[in-house]
Amino acid sequence: MPQLVLASSSPRRRELLDLVNVPYEARKQLVDESKMTCRSPRAYVHALAELKGRSVPFSVDNEVILSADTVVSFEGNVLGKPKNREQAFQMLSMLSGNIHDVYTGVMIRSSEQETIFVEKTSVEFWPLSKEDINDYLDTGDSYDKAGAYGIQSHGSILVKQIKGDYYNVVGLPLSRVIRSLRSYGIYPDLSQQEHKVTGNS
Ligand SMILES: Cc1cn([C@H]2C[C@H](O)[C@@H](COP(=O)(O)OP(=O)(O)OP(=O)(O)O)O2)c(=O)[nH]c1=O
């Protein structure tokens, strides 16, 4: 049986694989993202996903390595994680009332085959006042996330609508990843899902 290795320290990417019960082992990748030169967002996440994927060696024969990189792109600016509150404020001010794109690059590789793709989701923010932004920054949710927000947490309040895969914004385009993993012999264990029925009785 092929073994999936998630080359990532992102808690979000782990949670997303857990959501569909894909068994994996997480292994930290050690790529220095600050050394990357800026290019188009699509080329950037493609190159970083590949660098991260190749930085984790196979430790046994039947491993399948999965890596990813996510950025926010707005009017030619590629936004990664903010370094401090001031930068986070600038990013959110830029995104306020506008539509931006979130790109995630994904690499899947085994000793026999490789897949790399990039998924894009468009996100529209509500117009945000300085107070809205400062209230959000006070939550501390911004700092480890591209574009300085987390759509899955307090940042959901900032978002008016999205077009594309929601999970792509959170860091892994889940349905496309799961579909690609099939060709590597890796499948979600859907029998483990709990079925909870709620309602009036
Ligand atoms: C836009 C957005 C990004 N993010 C996160 C996903 C990614 O973890 C992070 C972007 O940083 P990445 O460099 O893609 O990933 P990472 O450094 O967290 O983890 P690793 O490289 O080890 O895999 O931003 C959210 O969680 N929610 C959002 O709404």
Residue 201 inside a domain? The answer is no
Beta bridge pairs of residue 155: none
Q: What domain range is 130 assigned to? A: 3-192
Compute how many other C-beta atoms are within 10 angstroms of the C-beta atom of residue 84: 9
Ligand 1 contact via 72 beta carbon (within 6 Å): yes
CA-closest residue to ligand 1 atom 7:
171
Beta carbons of 138 and 123 less than 8 angstroms apart: no
Interval 59-93: pLDDT, tens: 998 999 999 999 999 998 999 999 999 999 999 99
CA-closest residue to ligand 1 atom 16:
10
Residue 118 inside a domain? The answer is yes
Ligand 1 contact via 108 beta carbon (within 6 Å): no
The ipTM estimated for the assembled molecules is: 0.97
Residue 48 inside a domain? The answer is yes
Ligand 1 atom closest to the CA of 102, numbered from 1: 1
Residue 200 inside a domain? The answer is no
Centroid of ligand 1 to alpha carbon of 146 (angstroms) = 6
Q: What share of the chain is helix, strand, coil (3-state, %, to 5)?
A: 35, 25, 40
For the chain, how many structural domains are there in total? 1
Compute CA distances 104 → 3, 68, 164, 173, whole Å. 23, 7, 12, 7
Say whether 69 is catalytic: yes
Residue 148 pLDDT greater than 60, yes or no: yes
Q: How far apart are CA 43 and CA 133, in angstroms?
A: 30
Confidence of residue 29 (pLDDT cuts 50, 70, 90): confident
| CATH number of the domain within which 175 lies | 3.90.950.10
Residue 109 inside a domain? The answer is yes
Which pLDDT value is given to residue 193? 60
Q: Which of 69, 138, 144, 189 is catalytic?
A: 69
Ligand 1 contact via 73 beta carbon (within 6 Å): no
Residue 179 inside a domain? The answer is yes
Ligand 1 contact via 150 beta carbon (within 6 Å): yes
Beta carbons of 27 and 9 less than 8 angstroms apart: no
Interval 109-130: pLDDT, tens: 999 999 999 999 999 999 999 9
Q: Distance of alpha carbon 118 from its chain centroid, rounded?
A: 11
Centroid of ligand 1 to alpha carbon of 33 (angstroms) = 12
Residue 197 inside a domain? The answer is no
pTM: 0.94
| Three-point CA angle 155, 116, 13, nearest 5° | 35
